[in-house]
A and B are shown apart, each in its own frame.
Chain A
Amino acid sequence: MSLSGSYHYLAVVLLMVTGLYVVMVNTNLIKKVLGLNIFQTSVFVFYISLGRLEGGTAPILADELSRYANPLPHVLILTAIVVGVATTALALSLVVQIHRAHGTMEEDDIDDREGGATIS
């Protein structure tokens, strides 16, 4: 496989690693959620590029078309995008509630104020 045929995988890996790095390193909760989104998007790109075919068109039944892109990964990733949106919505609503309760979105500050003493 030549590099020109698989450069999209490079983009996928770059996005994937960036996203994962942001999730792991940042202490700001909003940035963590952003990183999570970048990470998930890399997988969407991976699936979509998987189904592409050189010169292939959308799978429409017509006499003049003969090369089709594989629609299955595209359909699958639609579901994964929906899951991603739901996850992001839930994450953001949790961040709002954390901000209300603690007055900050920095993980380090929250840990300090909690002091490990609050047991409910």
Chain B
Amino acid sequence: MIPALVDHLPALQVVTPLLCAPLCVLVRPGRAAHAIASFGAIASLAIAARLLAEVLDHGVLSYALGGWAAPWGIEYRIDGLGAFTLVIVTTVAAVVFPLSRASVEAEVEPARRHLFYAALMLSLAGMAGIAVTGDLFNLFVFLEIASLAAYVLVAFGRGGPAKLAALRYLVAGTVGATFVLIGIGLLYAATGSLNMADVSARLPQVQQSTALKSAFAFLVIGIAIKMALFPLHAWLPNAYARAPSVVGAFLAGSSTKVAVYALIRVVFGVFGADYAFARLSVDWVLLPCAAAGVIAGGVVALFQSDVKRMFAWSSVAQVAYMVLGAALASAAGLSAALVHMMNHALMKAAIFLALGGIVYRTGAVSIDALAGIGRRMPLTLAGLVVASLGLVGVPFTAGFVSKWTLLRAALQGDAWLLATVIVAGSLLTLLYTGRIVEAACLRSPPPGSVSTGTAEAPPGVLAALWLLAGASVFLGLDTSLTVGVAERVAGALLESAAGRWR
């Protein structure tokens, strides 16, 4: 890369997808817009990978936007946590966008496809912005860019139900974002700064302030709504189930992860573990919510007849796993949460792509419509099953690595009840995966079904599905990539947070 550009990578991470969005609108034909969106996603992944390498080698990157120095200007600050999140989000985008054109063409009207790709790019730009920014108000703005684009993407689903799901998502998301805004206002009132590092340095002087406590509460609840933490999850199942499959794959893979990132950033990065856990005991709120989410999400998923909604409910449970890890407030728990962020992003994106492939062929994803699909779409189904087994946490898949590190973290903290919840959640996942396999392989196809020969998902979708499923198996065998990086990131986070309050 050109040396001059390398210095500006933090800005380019946001600017590239942000510029691709209007380009998609300008070129109009769906195919050209698809090419631009694919370029944007792959370029973003390249930038994110470079940033992660840079951060791991040289430590935190600070970039003064427009040349205005830190506490006054907006600072883009990329540490291991941010770069790791960037890699997760852009990997999902770079695999899903280029390869899933057939699925988009099957589910989105021709006249609106260029707008669809533009919304995908805006959402990607917003999520990248959340991960790079070191400024609290900037975080709110990017949160809203990503969310507004996500509401639009959900509304691209067919018919009235998709619009209603999008509106409910919008109402919940806006309430969440406004809570975040209130929290940022209170934090500014208490400290007089918006720069995360600056706020964090000023906090010890005002630690008795009530404004600070309410700021913390508003921020945590606002972000919890955005990430669909039980019991604030009501918007998620319908939004993911009604959206086009590609949107389901992208959002399920990335948007909740970015919210988990924001929670970790605010709790550990800004307030610090000592304030959040030792003084305010936030774990007494987060741990029960997360444990209830793991069980409730799994149980409700088990009784769904719409498979997309089944996996949307499963997302509620998986997000709860990540919060559970983070709320343990130990290096082991935090790195388990990070590993699960990466693994779940790959597996859930793969699952929604597989469902997209099934919708492409059969037009439906109810359990009944899946009957006999194992014979007609063996490769698609196999990909779905591999990814689902990862979700369960079967050995030799990425899911096993994250569940195992999470379990170890819980046992290290002598949290036997939580360990039981983690295992019970896995068993629930096994049960609903079993329902799908049973319907697809053992039941005979409904009489008068469309075709009897094999009719796989479109080649691109199939390739993307197997790329993600393969990656999830690879990360299950070679853990140095995820666990190694996550442990370093978690250690750095806790280290920077420790000692500030004493």
Contact = CB atoms under 8 A, between A and B. Distances in A.
B185 A90 contact: no
Given A87-B174, A119-B366, A94 B155 contact: yes
Interface in A76-114: 76, 79-80, 83, 86-87, 90-91, 94-95, 97-98, 100-102, 107, 110, 114
Given A46-B182, A83-B141, A29 B174 contact: no
B160 A43 contact: no
B415 interface: no
Contacts of B164: 98, 102, 107, 110
Interface string B356-375: 00000000111000000000
Given A20-B175, A119-B366, A90 B152 contact: yes
A97 B305 CA distance: 27
B167 A95 contact: yes
Given A76-B137, A83-B141, A94-B155, A120 B170 contact: no
Contacts of A47: 185
B59 to A, nearest CB: 30
Nearest to A89: B148
Contacts of A119: 305-306, 364-366
Contacts of B306: 119
A10 to B, nearest CB: 15
Given A73-B185, A90-B152, A40 B161 contact: no
Contacts of A97: 155, 160, 163
B163 A43 contact: no
B229 to A, nearest CB: 18
Contacts of B137: 76, 79
Interface in B266-309: 305-306
Contacts of B175: 20, 23, 36, 39
Contacts of B188: 50, 73
Q: Which of B155, B171, B188 has the most chain A CB within a 10 Å cutoff?
A: B171
Given A39-B178, A73-B188, A91 B160 contact: no
Nearest to A70: B192
A118 B178 contact: no
Contacts, number: 88
A34 B306 CA distance: 33
Contacts of A79: 137, 141
A26 to B, nearest CB: 11
Interface of A is mostly: helix
Interface in B339-392: 364-366
A95 B151 CA distance: 13
A110 B160 CA distance: 9
Nearest to B368: A119
Counting contact residues on chain B (CB < 8 A from A), the size range is 35 or more
A98 B178 contact: no
B167 A40 contact: no
B166 interface: yes
Contacts of B144: 83, 86-87
B366 A120 contact: no
A35 B154 CA distance: 22
B159 interface: yes
B158 interface: yes
Contacts of B157: 120
Nearest to B152: A90
B189 A50 contact: yes
B83 interface: no
Interface in A1-51: 16, 20, 23, 29, 32-33, 36, 39-40, 43, 46-47, 50
Contacts of B140: 80
Contacts of B366: 119
B66 to A, nearest CB: 15
A57 to B, nearest CB: 20
B151 A120 contact: no
B148 A98 contact: no
A43 B171 contact: no
B151 A90 contact: yes
Contacts of A95: 167
A46 B178 CA distance: 12
Nearest to A100: B160
Contacts of A32: 171
A86 B167 CA distance: 13
Contacts of A91: 167, 170-171, 174
Given A43-B185, A90-B151, A119-B365, A36 B159 contact: no
A16 B305 CA distance: 39
Given A40-B174, A43-B185, A83-B177, 14 more contacts: A20-B175, A33-B171, A39-B178, A43-B181, A43-B182, A73-B188, A90-B148, A91-B171, A94-B167, A97-B155, A107-B164, A118-B161, A120-B158, A120-B161
Of all A-B residue pairs in the complex, the 10 with the closest CB atoms, nearest first, are: A101-B160, A94-B167, A97-B163, A83-B144, A120-B158, A98-B163, A102-B160, A94-B163, A119-B306, A87-B174
19 contacts: A29-B167, A40-B174, A46-B182, A46-B185, A47-B185, A83-B144, A83-B148, A87-B144, A87-B174, A90-B170, A91-B167, A91-B171, A91-B174, A95-B167, A98-B167, A114-B160, A120-B157, A120-B158, A120-B159
